[in-house]
Amino acid sequence: MVSLLPAVLSPQQEMILPPIVMYDSHIKIGLISSRTVKKVRFSVLKRLKELGNPSEFILNIDSRGGDAYAILALVDMIEQLKASGKTVITYCSSRAFSAASLLLCCGSKRIASPLSTVMLHSVQVCPGEGRFSDVEIEMKEAKRLEGIIFDLYEKYTGNTKSSLLRKLKKTPELYLSASESKDLNLIDEIATLPLEPLA
């Protein structure tokens, strides 16, 4: 399995964590997995139907990351919404680690709360049992995914892929405050959004 998580979760632990929580004003995203993608897609379609084609979506991120394939599917979905004229606000209310940092920086308007933390790192491989050739295939796929993901970071932040990878060579897990995230152009502004839960 190719993952962007800083630590490996068991399938039982992953099932405990809610991937998303729907509120009137926003969608809160936790662990990023294929289940998250399905639930976010359902939430977006539900909002489009029930709210009469809203022009704005808020994704409230409090996530330690997740699956590389799932984050790419979420980025595709956000790009489709933006292409249809929707504003997608990505808001880090607490943490956007690993894959969640890419989700944060792909929004139309990117916001982090003053005390939030963002973390970037390279794609990690969690090879299972198998032959050496299987591990080689996993490593090759991880390199391919890392290329795609860091091309996206370059697109959304203006930082070159090589400069980001150089930073990660010095510090394999790069933890950033909200102001450091803004300096790296991962976010546009530092603010606290009033996000009301369902009554």
**126-169 pLDDT per residue, tens:** 656 678 777 788 889 889 999 999 999 999 999 999 999 888 88
* Confidence at residue 198, expressed as pLDDT on a 0 to 100 scale: 39
pLDDT at 25: 59
Model pLDDT, residue 145: 92
**CB within 8 Å of 5: residues ≥ 6 apart:** 64, 65, 66, 67, 98, 99, 124
pLDDT digits (tens, 9 = 90+) for 168-187: 888 889 999 999 999 999 99
Which helix (H) or strand (E) is 89 found in, with range?
Answer: strand 87-97
User: How is domain 2-187 classified at the architecture level of CATH?
Assistant: Alpha-Beta Complex (3.90)
pLDDT score, position 126: 64
Domain boundaries, the chain: 2-187
Please name which of 35, 69, 64 lies closest in space to residue 146, comparing C-alpha atoms: 69
With cut-offs at 50, 70 and 90, classify the pLDDT of residue 1: very low
Per-residue confidence (pLDDT) for residue 142, from 0 to 100: 87
* Per-residue pLDDT at 188 exceeds 80: yes
Highest averaged pLDDT of the listed ranges 20-24, 58-62, 125-129:
58-62
| 24 confidence band (pLDDT: 50, 70, 90) | low
Structure tokens at 99: 């894959």
pLDDT of residue 6: 39
Asked if residue 183 lies in contact with residue 104, where contact means CB atoms within 8 angstroms, the answer is: no
CB 87 within 8 A of CB 109: yes
pLDDT digits (tens, 9 = 90+) for 25-53: 578 888 888 888 888 888 888 888 887 77
Kindly write down the DSSP assignment for every residue of 187-198, as one continuous string. Answer: -SEE-----PPP
Exposure letters 68-92 (e unless 16+ CB within 10 A, then b): bbbbbbbbebbeebeeeebebbbbb
